Amino acid sequence: MKTSTKMRLAAATAIAALALGSGTAALAGQKKDQAPTMTDTKPAAPLISRDALFGNPSRSSGQLSPDGKWLSWLAPKDGVMNVWLAPASDPAAARAMTEATDRPIRQYFWAPDSKSLLYVQDKGGDENFLLYGIDIATGKETTLTPFEKTRVQIVGTSEHRRDKVLVGLNNRDARFHDVYLLDLNTGQLTEVMENNRYAGFLADDSLTLRMAIAPNAAGGMDFFPIVDGKVAETPAESTTLEDALTTSPAGYTTDGKTLYWIDSRGRNTAALIAQDVASGERKVIAADDKADIGGTLTDPATGVVQAYSVDYLKTEWTAIDPAIKASLDFLDSKLEGEFGVQSRTQDDSKWIVWNDPVTSPSKTYIYDRTAGTLTEFYTTRPELAGAPLQPMHALELKSRDGLTLPSYLTLPPGSDADGDGVPDHPVPMVLLVHGGPWARDGYGYNGYHQWLANRGYAVLSVNYRGSTGFGKDFITAANLQWGRKMHDDLIDATQWAIDSGIAPKDKVAIMGGSYGGYATLAGLTFTPTTFACGVDIVGPSNLETLLKTIPPYWVPVVEQFHQRMGNPNTPEGLAMLKERSPLYSADKIVRPLLIGQGANDPRVNKAESDQIADAMKARNIPVTYILFPDEGHGFAKPTNNIAFNAITENFLSTCLGGRSEGIGATLGGSTAEVVDGAQYVHGLEAALAVEEAAE
């Protein structure tokens, strides 16, 4: 399994990742204007269409209501992802429960009492997520947090107070989330605690606040007990910077007697620890030398951990509870590839299980543990049946200073006759850099890997230093290393690919979103001849202005940014941030750049892309700049994502010579604005002309 049901409660103690998601794939034939330019004596694999790769899935996010009476999922309604509902006894009797007509609904969940469905939605990508509820009996929808410029947080849920949840709202002060008790059926909000300091809270099953979490001067977190609604003056636990991203409380058991921690204090990788609340005694439940403890399965009724995962190159699960072990063994005997549990009923008799074979369509099943049956629920992308999906190779690469870099490689179809992970002849490559940087790449189906491999490229994703999941030492090795050792890791991985016969030296592109966009800009400025071109998606170009414009609700953890990136409030810190900012080295760029930006991005403001594009234009350096006025940190609308990727693959084809599907009418179906540089992408000027003629 790769992921699982999270622990019942989790504190917001880590820096939010500046990360983007990835797409998926399906099969389609080649069109007249696809014009592959690669030379190969073998028959070319069919092109997988962008619409199938990045369009709406047929269904996703299947769940069971806690009482087991209902099935729910996300699926298109009039082309937009909405929440659907059906009786568990009659899945065919489905109806749409929401009426989203513009932005897709991407996250929803059940009320604990099974009387309503809940979802969060923002406006135009501004990340001010509000909470909405739909009454199952009447279909009535209610805005449960009816405020402007407000971002809701779920602070606590309960097994025994199923009609209520604790939420955090920053409508009073955008920096801090006050805690309210929300009645899910009446919509009544009752203030529990005004917050003028804390980054997060932890509650128990009675929805009583038990802990407040605040940043400290050391760059870590202080954990303050809360007794009778009053926060203690001194913390009971603390972390410093080195443990800040790998240590946090993970929730109480239902009886409130045990508190779980994911904890790296006194060790490198984060262990799962159970703490007796009364005595303070701590017991290590699980630990691994190579990776942090990742997901858990907990008893829906008691909150006791039943299984845990470790995700190094691949995810491995260990069951503690014998009944859970029997169920996982049963699923392992029936399913090929990765699988995981994404929903469970209150009595734990039924599970929703996803299955990712990597090279064939992912499926979701209903597992009846009592009857011992596994019934197919849906195929997420049925168009993938028969598609030339490629295996992913898990690798351990080495940095120049000896760090192990867990990485993933996908090769083009037909390029690796013996399946050893090295192509028969070097092929063009895209270095695909994950965002964050405090996030990670993992094993499994990856739509971007499949898309780019299908176009004729090797695709390499590297967990460079600073990536999470591999222990605190790996994260700490990236402190103050933006544009330096973090970038060296990417260069070392690229050189490995060249030396190993994966790719020719002159046909490697760099591409990524958020931090991956920064890495792209760093690649074209700090190592200007290493890459043939770059694709920057919502990447910061100026670290000084990035830190000045972070969302206000990140203010409580800004000290971690300063200590890990550089402190703009000190002369030496400001000088370093400017030195590491690609903007100030824009004159060194000699390779083509494609930029994609959302106008409403609250994390990486539009000015970050404006600055680098203007600097390149002033020096007559080729840059193509695509702006989406209704998007934020990434492109949520499939039509926008498809349009940008249409431009991207034709840009890559222009630079590297891979195959491409024509841009066609994708621009007309999106809100894309080509700000500059249409002439540098094959077919883009023609597509714009067709769009203008149609208006």
Residues 62-107 pLDDT 10s: 999 999 999 999 999 999 999 999 999 999 999 999 999 999 999 9
Residue 103 lies in a domain: yes
Question: Is the Cβ–Cβ distance between 332 and 19 less than 8 Å?
Answer: no
Q: Of 122, 125, 12, 133, whose CA–CA distance to 641 is shortest? A: 125
Residue 331 lies in a domain: yes
Q: How far apart are CA 140 and CA 132, in angstroms?
A: 11
Q: How far apart are CA 629 and CA 125, in angstroms?
A: 10
Tokens of 387: 């598609």
Tokens of 1: 């399994």
| SS3 at position 453 | helix
* pLDDT for the residue 42: 54
Q: How far apart are CA 263 and CA 338, in angstroms?
A: 26
Looking up tokens 């500059």, which residue turns up?
Answer: 676
Residues labelled catalytic: 514, 601, 633
- Alpha carbon distances (Å) from 375 to 2, 345, 352, 365, 385: 20, 16, 10, 5, 19
Q: Of 2, 54, 53, whose CA–CA distance to 27 is shortest? A: 53
* Residues above pLDDT 90, as percent of the chain: 91
Residue 90 lies in a domain: yes
| SS3 at position 487 | helix
* pLDDT for the residue 2: 37
pLDDT tens digits, one per residue of 644-693? 999 999 999 999 999 999 999 999 999 999 999 999 999 999 999 988 88
Residue 628 lies in a domain: no
Q: Which residues lie below 8 Å from residue 151, measured CB to CB, with a gap of 6+?
A: 127, 128, 129, 170, 177, 553
- Alpha carbon distances (Å) from 464 to 303, 482, 576, 625: 35, 11, 21, 27
| SS3 at position 283 | strand
Question: Is the Cβ–Cβ distance between 44 and 55 less than 8 Å?
Answer: no
* pLDDT for the residue 163: 96
Alpha helices in 568-637 (DSSP H): 571-579, 606-618
Q: Which residues lie below 8 Å from residue 290, measured CB to CB, with a gap of 6+?
A: 269, 310, 312, 470, 471
Burial 204-219 (b: 16+ CB within 10 A, else e): bbebbbbbbbbbeebb
Intervals of the chain under pLDDT 70: 1-43
Full residue range of the structural domain in which residue 112 is found: 58-384
CA 143, chain centre distance (Å): 26
Residue 629 lies in a domain: no
CA 451, chain centre distance (Å): 18
Write phi, then psi, for 645 (nearest 5 degrees). -70, -30
Is the backbone of residue 665 left (phi > 0), alpha (psi -120 to 50) or beta?
Answer: alpha
Pairing of strands 363-368, 373-379: antiparallel
* pLDDT for the residue 629: 97
Is the backbone of residue 337 left (phi > 0), alpha (psi -120 to 50) or beta?
Answer: left
* pLDDT for the residue 692: 85
Question: Is the Cβ–Cβ distance between 55 and 638 less than 8 Å?
Answer: yes
Model's pTM, two decimal places?
A: 0.93
Residue 5 lies in a domain: no
* pLDDT for the residue 16: 39
Q: How far apart are CA 522 and CA 505, in angstroms?
A: 18
> What CATH number does residue 320 fall under?
2.130.10.120
CB half-sphere exposure, 602, CA atoms < 13 A: 18
Q: How far apart are CA 243 and CA 271, in angstroms?
A: 12
Q: Of 14, 468, 13, 7, whose CA–CA distance to 269 is shortest? A: 468
- Enumerate helices (H) and strands (E) in the chain, giving the number of each: 12, 37
* pLDDT for the residue 44: 80
SS3 per residue for 67-94? CCCEEEEEEEECCEEEEEEEECCCCCCC
Question: Is the Cβ–Cβ distance between 268 and 247 less than 8 Å?
Answer: no
Residue 175 lies in a domain: yes
* pLDDT for the residue 43: 63
Q: Is 634 exposed, middle or buried (0-12, 13-18, 19+ CB in 10 A)?
A: buried
CB half-sphere exposure, 405, CA atoms < 13 A: 30
Q: Which one-letter DSSP state was computed for residue 66?
A: T
Average pLDDT of the residues of the chain: 93
Q: How many domains does the chain contain in total?
A: 1
Q: How far apart are CA 249 and CA 300, in angstroms?
A: 18
Q: Which residues lie below 8 Å from residue 163, measured CB to CB, with a gap of 6+?
A: 111, 112, 113, 115, 183, 184, 185
Q: Which residues lie below 8 Å from residue 667, measured CB to CB, with a gap of 6+?
A: 643, 646, 674, 687, 688, 691
Write phi, then psi, for 81 (nearest 5 degrees). -65, 125
As a 3-state breakdown, the chain gives helix, strand, coil percent values, each rounded to 5, of: 20, 30, 50
Residue 23 lies in a domain: no
pLDDT tens digits, one per residue of 249-287? 999 999 999 999 999 999 999 999 999 999 999 999 999
